[in-house]
Amino acid sequence: MGRVLVVRGGVPLRGELRVLPAKNSALKLMAASLLTDEPVVLEEVPRLRDIDVMLELLGHLGTRHAWEGRTLHLHTPEIRSTQAPFELVSKMRASFNLLGALAARAGEGTVPLPGGCTFAERPVDQHIKALRALGFEVVAQVTEGGMAYTARRVGPASGRVVYDLPTLGGTEQALLAAALGGEAVLVNTPQEPEIVDLCRFLVRMGVEIEGIGSGILHIRGRPRLRGVRYRVIPDRIEAGTYLLAAAATRGSITLTHVEPFHMDALLEKLRQSGHRITTGRDWVRLEAVPDPQPFNLEAREYPGFVTDLQPPATAYLCTVPGTSLVSDRIYPDRFTHAGELARMGANITLKDRTLIIQGRPLSGAAVEARDIRAGGSLIIAALAAEGETHIAGLHHIERGYEDVENRLRSLGAQVGLQQPELALAAD
């Protein structure tokens, strides 16, 4: 059995916290560093397990790296291998975006189907559609580790991609594939801050991109891209999780180094619930009220309510008296947290892909996080619950939340780690 996060609930969170950089953006910028043979410096990179996995993957492909505090130095003078190993790709979905970058830089790349969180089916059909529309030859083959895809560049990466639905990964794949000498028009693209961040990063490298932040992107690549120094955006998911934790415990929190406009949908819901929200250029303050109101939410594309905050918001609503309805149009079955919240006394039922929540006090219990954001959900519930909660599956939580134990302690939470007991040696 692995380590367990032990939380004694019932203590309102209070204080100030500096929001850390966005993992979901940093991973894509790291993949984009493969597009140049010059050094790339990323400022404000989180120290998380997923970052370590990506660094190991990049190292296998030819990237050298060095840390300087939270600054990450990357340099890929040449591609040493065009095949990403299954044992690393299987740990993280974001690794599949290496396919377009490898094919653009080295002429071809092979990447197995990705792993990562398993809360719902997450196909790669829009990735493959985009690459083929840009002129890449893409073939699938069965390997010892399962299905893998090989993409080959047979000419300039040019074409028009009309996505069936706004897709983060499929859009990022096409951006990387077209950046080196290609030209592409991408239609029905998402407007998430992480897409905007990747576009701005590529522009700094020399790519021309029109329509950044809109549903249509026009990319004109360059035959050779330059190295850059770039600061990663703040993590809106971490920020939202701590805001919801403060609301669930009826506390007061100030977040700094944050982009408030990235969280408009969440902040509006918290205001709707009755909490006092104030914002500045790079900070957000929440002062919770003792008797918040319930609300309904549907997770959807940006600028709507982000799917990664649906599980944490669900946990918060379990503490709010009254009826709330929660659905998710991005991942309609993303409810692995619901059963674990029920263990803590939550009155929560699933009907027709919608959670029906009757808020009431929660109690401590032994629960398990089955993916990153389900872990964030259970932490929020544990902080609000009476008694002690033991949260297993800490390795999932650590993929998305850095140093969560100490960051919670800095806000007054009573948390600790329980190490696994070693088996006694036989006589």
Q: Which residues are catalytic?
A: 117
- Which tokens belong to 47? 């120290």
In whole angstroms, what is the distance from residue 94 CA to residue 25 CA?
10
Residue 249: CB partners within 8 Å, gap ≥ 6?
A: 9, 10, 11, 12, 13, 288, 383, 384
Between helix 23-32 and helix 193-205 the angle, nearest 10°, is: 30
Name residue 329's amino acid.
R
Calculate ∠ Cα 378-338-348, nearest 5°.
115
Report d(CA 45, CA 74) in Å as an integer.
12
Q: Which helix (H) or strand (E) holds 149?
A: strand 146-153
Residues counted in the chain: 427
Exposure of 78 by Cβ count < 10 A (0-12 exposed, 13-18 middle, 19+ buried)?
Answer: exposed
End-to-end CA distance of the chain: give it in Å, rounded: 23
Could you tell me which of 129, 136, 126, 114 has the C-alpha nearest to residue 54? 114
Cα 155 to Cα 295: distance, rounded to the nearest angstrom:
52
Quick count: other Cβ atoms within 10 Å of Cβ 227? 17
